[in-house]
Amino acid sequence: MKREVVIVTGLSGGGKTTVLNILEDLSYYTIDNMPIGMEKFLFYTNLEKIAIGIDIRTFQSLEDFLSVMQGLREKKISYRIIFVEASKEVILSRYHLTRRHHPLKESTLLKSIEKEIAFMSSIKEMADGVIDTSFLKPRDLEPKIKAILKVQGCSREINIHLQSFGFKYGLPIDVDLVFDVRFLPNPYYQEELKAKNGNDPEVVHYIKSFPISEEFYKKLYDFISFLIPQYIAEGKKHLSIGIGCSGGKHRSVAFVNTLYEDLKKENKWRVYKSHREQEFGNW
């Protein structure tokens, strides 16, 4: 089993916890402030992706840190080191904002920061990547982390949920976008289709037989395909899209099914679907 271990270290107030949170979203099992000696659990665990936060509270000397790295190498466990920092001015500002104590507890906060910078300089040189968070927002960190770890296909990290529903039963409360397809021809008024639903080929064929349906679907697909990367760029992890018709049985179901299949074919995103009124027993 190939194990991925990421060591996240750096300056106190630099943003280490935020980086660990992002790694957790990337399916890493995260441990913050792991004491020296605890790294031995890596020799036996079945976890494949692990991120460990280590800072100046964890070790008393550079040798302590090097002993952890040496132990991993001896067990042939590969690892990468991400060093997180910020300027002295920004770290000072962050500490004043949070009113937390610096772990070194020197006579002044500035002296504590400067002592830590000097102490961590050797570890910084060992890092596979350094991230300066001074002027970054949390959403800006993920691409930098992925670049260091050489992670590809970042867009797969968004979960897209497509949901059909009926307006007569109310709007879903958990959707980000809602599209109304009640303007399309309604199979309900065709006697042979009334009892069927949007999962049935006859209903799908009827809906698609109208040029307006095909035109609208193409515009809808293009619009959603445009929006998804914009949401990803903003750091959004979940996108829920509702498509509604009168009863949530024919048109909305057919459109959700078609959109689901086409987005899955792209092989870029995690896509799920559900039909609310079917689940609620409304048809």
- Residues annotated within a binding site: 10-17, 55-58
| pLDDT higher at 1 or 88 | 88
Structure tokens at 237: 């992890």
- Residues annotated within a binding site for GTP: 55-58
- Residues annotated within a binding site for ATP: 10-17
How do residues 162-189 score in pLDDT, each as one tens digit? 999 999 999 998 899 999 999 999 999 9
Please name which of 7, 77, 17, 73 lies closest in space to residue 45, comparing C-alpha atoms: 77
For residues 104-119, give the mean pLDDT: 93
How do residues 221-269 score in pLDDT, each as one tens digit? 999 999 998 888 777 878 999 999 999 999 999 999 999 999 999 888 8
CATH numbers and ranges of domains, the chain: 4-152 (3.40.50.300), 158-279 (no CATH)
Using the predicted structure, report yes or no on whether residue 48 has a pLDDT greater than 90. Answer: no
Q: Which residues contact 15 (CB under 8 A, 6 or more apart)?
A: 84, 86, 131, 133, 136, 141
The confidence score (pLDDT) of residue 154 equals 46
pLDDT band at 157 (very low <50, low <70, confident <90, very high): low
C-alpha Rg value of the chain to the nearest Å: 26
- Which DSSP letter does residue 34 get? P
Structure tokens at 79: 């690892």
Using the predicted structure, report yes or no on whether residue 209 has a pLDDT greater than 90. Answer: yes
